[in-house]
Amino acid sequence: MKISTAGRHLREGFRSMVRNGWMTFASLSSIGISLFILGVFVLLTTNVNYIAEHVESQVEIRVYLSLEIDEEREINRVQNQIGMMPEVHKITFVHKDEGLKILEKTLGEDWVEGFQGDSNPLPHSFTVEVKNPEEISIVAKNIEALNDIMQPVPIDEVDYGEGTVEDLFAFSNLVNRVGFVLVIGLAITALFLIANTIRLTIMARRREIGIMKLVGATNGFIRWPFFIEGACIGLIGAAIPLGVLLYGYYRLIESSKSRMNFMSMIELKPLDEVALPLIGLLMGLGVAIGVFGTLLSVRKHLKV
Amino acid sequence: MIEMQDVWKTYPDGTHALRGITVKVDSNEFVYVVGPSGAGKSTFMKLIYREERPTKGQIFVDSFNLAKLKKRKIPYLRRNIGVVFQDFRLLPKLTVAENVAFAPKLTVAENVAFAMEVIEAPNKLIRKRTAEVLELVGLSDKRNSYPAQLSGGEQQRVAIARAIVNNPAVIVADEPTGNLDPETSWGIMKLLEEINYRGTTIIMATHNRDIVNTMRKRVIAIENGVIVRDQQRGDYGYED
């Protein structure tokens, strides 16, 4: 295609967008809203997965000993038993006084007052790190099984955040599914709105198209401006929610860094890792919806 | 140049518009097509530029075999045929429904250049040819006016300029003087004759008795879908 022809198609496409005013606005909003919601869901699932992976790599096992276990010999015996397991990476002893200090830090001084020294109700505990996070439940079971072979029964409780990781992944799956259905529905709405906008353009230019055909314009030449109009609506419809989403995400990350609130407990995926795939996805989908909507209308109404 | 062999055209509603037309028009001829309304003149014209397909029979235009012409090749046939209508068909024709503010407004020169733009002619050639044909139809001084500012005769000249700008081998004119007063009509006829002298074949459907009888050319009369008369330097042959 010649440059002057391409320029002409672009000009015609843009002119139609302006001329169709409200219909263009409706299509733009429709695409914008669908893609915004899609973007929110994508960011949500990406981060839930990101956090889940993060949590998974950090998991450790807490082993609380029975209150009767207080002698160093008994403690060492249990520690050796656990340390000998091939899946265990590291085992650390946490004295009950130390445990109380940790509690004091998270809950505040008031809570632990009167429990210091001999009146400390906490048991001694171990922190166990495993080599492979996937084996964590096996290790936990093996540790619990020590109760069957050792006397006196040494372990009160084994805790490893069972289910948290699984819950996170399940949540992200649910979000994915709900988002998918919602976005498909909205995308179809956007598709038909674009098809209708293009239909209006075809109607408005019926006469011009008729003359173009008479003087020997090819079908491709006649169709181009309509596809440009559709694609532009899709592109602009994607750019607006993209701007909002990326700026919003940027602010979210900034605020979680600067202020101490619940957000600061969670580490979000960095913006530069999120931005490019999101831009590609939304722009691509926007243009695809625009072009496909145009195709629907051109096929039906532009008999060339 | 144009050849039809036993051409039939039946419309989907069952109307037999043409019933066995066989005719040959040579290069450089000037032909009037006459006959009562609804006799098949318009269908005959439309078959030439492949607006309609024959139900049966062969049509050859220039080097194109219209019965075998694929749909996407139609534009290339049309580039060899200039079409002129009774209602000029210039841009814009603003109807009440159209948004006046945003409708594309083309000047006289732009209307003519339009026909070259859509077939992607080089810009330089477009400017040159547009100036040439506007000179030929006598509208050089009106090149920057809008069609709405022109008289009917002038608008038809613009339409003719647009029809010939791509150097077609044939001009198909469907009642080009139908909307014009007698005096203006003569001007248009002089212009068509001039174009014919320069080597373009002209097929013109008309109801204008004076023109046919005065400017004598070949006359093809169609009635009820068949050619009832084909006569060199013929007369109109109907009482209006």
Say which amino acid occupies A85.
Answer: M
B63: left (phi over 0), alpha (psi -120 to 50) or beta: alpha
pLDDT digits (tens, 9 = 90+) for B76-105: 999 999 999 999 988 876 444 444 445 567
Q: Do A226 and A173 fall into the same domain? A: yes
- Among the partner residues A19, A215, A221, nearest to B78 by beta-carbon distance: A215
pLDDT digits (tens, 9 = 90+) for B61-75: 998 999 899 998 999
Q: Do A134 and A266 fall into the same domain? A: no
In this prediction, what percent of chain A has a pLDDT beyond 70?
93
Average pLDDT over residues B6-34: 95
What residues of chain A lie within 8 A of the CB of B84, using their CB? none
**B85 vs A16, higher pLDDT:** B85
Q: Do A201 and A281 fall into the same domain? A: yes
Q: Which H or E element spans position B174?
A: strand B170-174
Would you state the pLDDT for residue B97? Answer: 43
- Among the partner residues B91, B119, B166, nearest to A208 by beta-carbon distance: B91
What residues of chain A lie within 8 A of the CB of B93, using their CB? 207
Residue A64's CATH number: 3.30.70.3040
For residue B214, the distance in angstroms to the closest alpha carbon of chain A comes to 31
CB-CB neighbours of A71 under 10 Å: 9
Say which amino acid occupies A186.
Answer: L
> What tokens were used for A119?
């009146």
In this prediction, what percent of chain B has a pLDDT beyond 70?
95
Residue A261 has pLDDT above 80, yes or no: no
The chain A residues in contact with chain B (CB within 8 A) are 1-2, 4-5, 8, 15, 18-19, 204, 207-208, 210-219, 221
Q: Do A154 and A290 fall into the same domain? A: no
Scanning B35-54 for CB atoms below 8 A from A yields: 49
Q: Considering its fold, how many domains does chain A have in total?
A: 2
> What tokens were used for A285?
């989908």
Q: Do A43 and A141 fall into the same domain? A: no
Residue A302 has pLDDT above 60, yes or no: yes
Report the residue of chain A nearest B166, measured CA to CA.
A215
Q: Do A141 and A176 fall into the same domain? A: no
Structural domain for A74, as ranges: 60-159
B89 vs A: CB within 8 A: yes
> Which residue, among B64, B118, B165, would best test binding to A if mutated, counting the most A CBs under 10 Å from its CB?
B118
Would you state the pLDDT for residue B95? Answer: 47
Would you state the pLDDT for residue A3? Answer: 82
Task: Among A124, A159, A194, identify where a domain stops.
Answer: A159
B190 vs A: CB within 8 A: no
Q: Do A124 and A254 fall into the same domain? A: no
Average pLDDT over residues A21-25: 81
Burial code (b: 16+ CB inside 10 Å, e: under 16) for B161-184 equals bbbbbbebbbbbbbbbbebbeeeb
What residues of chain A lie within 8 A of the CB of B69, using their CB? none
Residue A70 has pLDDT above 80, yes or no: no
What residues of chain A lie within 8 A of the CB of B166, using their CB? 215-216
Order the strands of the B2-10 sheet from edge to edge: B16-25, B2-10, B56-61, B64-65
Task: Identify the three-state secondary structure at position A60.
Answer: strand
B94 vs A: CB within 8 A: no
Task: Among A102, A129, A159, identify where a domain stops.
Answer: A159
Alpha carbon B71 to its chain centroid, in Å, reads 21
Q: Do A252 and A274 fall into the same domain? A: yes
Q: How many helices (H) and strands (E) does chain B have?
A: 7, 10
- Residue B204 forms beta bridges with which residues? B32, B173
> Which residue, among A211, A213, A303, would best test binding to B if mutated, counting the most B CBs under 10 Å from its CB?
A211
Q: What are phi and psi of B221, to 5 degrees?
A: -105, 130
How would DSSP label each residue in A193-251? HHHHHHHHHHHHTHHHHHHHHHTT--HHHHHHHHHHHHHHHHHHHHHHHHHHHHHHHHH
Q: Do A39 and A175 fall into the same domain? A: yes
Whether the CB-CB separation of A118 and A49 falls below 8 Å is answered with: no
For residue B91, the distance in angstroms to the closest alpha carbon of chain A comes to 7
- Among the partner residues A8, A15, A218, nearest to B75 by beta-carbon distance: A218
What residues of chain A lie within 8 A of the CB of B91, using their CB? 207-208, 211
Predicted TM-score of the model (pTM): 0.73
Would you state the pLDDT for residue B104? Answer: 63
pLDDT digits (tens, 9 = 90+) for A139-178: 888 888 888 887 778 888 888 766 676 777 788 788 878 8
Cβ–Cβ of B102/A5 closer than 8 Å?
Answer: no
Q: Could you tell me which residues come within 8 angstroms of residue A20 by beta carbon, excluding any fewer than 6 positions away?
A: A197, A200, A201, A204
Q: Do A113 and A205 fall into the same domain? A: no
pLDDT digits (tens, 9 = 90+) for A183-225: 888 888 888 888 888 888 788 778 888 888 999 999 889 999 8
User: Which of B20, B99, B5, B108 is closest to B60 using CA atoms?
Assistant: B5
Task: Among A159, A181, A213, identify where a domain stops.
Answer: A159
Residue A264 has pLDDT above 70, yes or no: no
For residue B201, the distance in angstroms to the closest alpha carbon of chain A comes to 17
Task: Identify the three-state secondary structure at position B69.
Answer: coil
Distances (CA, A) of A179 to A74, A184, A247, B36: 54, 8, 21, 67
B93 vs A: CB within 8 A: yes
Report the residue of chain A nearest B119, measured CA to CA.
A217
Mean per-residue pLDDT of chain B:
91
Q: Do A253 and A181 fall into the same domain? A: yes
Cβ–Cβ of A215/B91 closer than 8 Å?
Answer: no
Q: Do A49 and A98 fall into the same domain? A: no
